[in-house]
Structure 1
Amino acid sequence: MSDRRPLLVIDGDSFAHRAYHALPKTVRRKGDRGGGAIVGFANYLIRLYEAEQPRAVVVGWDTLAEPNWRALEFAPYQGGRIFEDEIVEQLEVLPEVVTAFGFVFGKAGRFEADDFLATAVAMEEKAGGAALVATSDRDAYQLASDQTTILAPIKGGEIARIDPAGVRERYKVEPRQVPDFIALRGDPSDKIPGAKGVGEATAASLLQRYPDLEAMIADNRFPTQADDLRLYKRIATMVTDAPLPPVADAKPTWGKAAALARDWELNNLADRLQQLADKA
């Protein structure tokens, strides 16, 4: 493994939603538009960058304007999710914030933020580097490896660092088995039903006996559900072919970010960013 600094990979939607619900709706920007998700997300970015000192930052985003490939393959996927207009509007402009910071973002039709996270990790590992993946989504446990650590926010602003041993401790399976685990157990938040009568403990127990779902099917388990379970596993698997360019080393452009925040009349954020620019 290279001794270069790690690549920081951030689940943009995960942190934007956390910020939106954590800050009061009275945080407004120019034109009396919502500003809480922007301010909170920017503060997360600053905190993560300062704590980890990465070589560069990549932020992955969902595209809400059209169905992603998972919803096209499995119509119930994430069905029933309704977002308030103010978070949707801020999600549309948050990639602009990432660019102003001097960071790279991934967002494209039919892909989810998850796929940009996995693509960035695969690229970094292939290059011999290390990655840090910041997300509250446990699906990302499948990315944990000797080179990649998951940074999961917990209460009080603390961050849990989850490596393969941490995945085994939490789920009782290997990181590579996480999509099989989700397919078997199901995921109510994504509307993945899972195997009939199989919960978390049974799913983990099966994956301690079999290497993966396919081995179970070959052993004549779940004969009437095999095709459905294969689909659920495919849906739960982060893909590594999202359109993301190579990520060069980069330093934050605090001054540009401060100027954007000032233009949006988010003055407290602008002041904080300007202080960082002055110290750089």
Structure 2
Amino acid sequence: MADDVQRAELRRRTYGTGDLATRWVFAGGFINFGYWDGIPLDGRLTVEQRIASQQAMYDVVLDALDVAGRRVLEVGCGGGVGAQRTLLRGPELLRGIDLMPEQVERARAATRDERVEFVPGSASDIPFPDDAFDRLLSVEAAQHFEDLGAFARECARVLAPGGRLAVTTFFAEHDDAGPELVELIKTFATGLDLAHPIGRFTDDLRAAGFDDVRADSIGAHVWAGLHRWQELAGFPDGWGHRWIQATERGLADYYLVTARQPAGSRA
């Protein structure tokens, strides 16, 4: 497994100096596996359907949050196309942070709206004051965060009382899944992705003071479509099928995690 420095350099090459969103396997500027519910998978898939699957992943998160008229933060904003999807829901303001300055510049160039601002920032050190937001979302970025406990605490800090968060990504199913995932899936072996156990993250959220913490598997609407698209995209090493294997072996799954900041004044 790569160390912290090696992982940071790999992520910079992938998302910073490189731009993973330009690869056909993702398409449309998004970088997520897609939520394929309602998209037929028994024939050829189009680029438009691939983009729709990624838009739908954002819709799953936004449906859980109700961002209309709210102050919203996206952690791991990438090139800003998810922010464009969020703006359709009518937030009062939207801020996006990303660890890669290059991604922040791409987001700024792609998204022109007076409600929006993108800034460099870390999930474990969010560059905004206490109680600055009512809603917080993160779409397929938390697998890169080095410290989910710090992320949970920062979410609790920047969310006002009564605020809500929604996070989607893939998580390890248990504490011992990491070594097997490293053997099975290259991005865990290289350190690009980290095998964070889902139970630890929900515990982190509760320890940070959140309540109504839920972790709902949505993998049934992710893995089959990802595998089918990967086949058509010619992605090497059976990458999409390996995720299905990981799920079947009880090693990993894709989750929507939601939580609420208790209402009332801070102590």
TM-score with structure 1 setting the length: 0.29
Structure (1/2) with the larger strand percentage: 2
Over alpha carbons, which structure has the higher Rg?
1
TM-score with structure 2 setting the length: 0.30
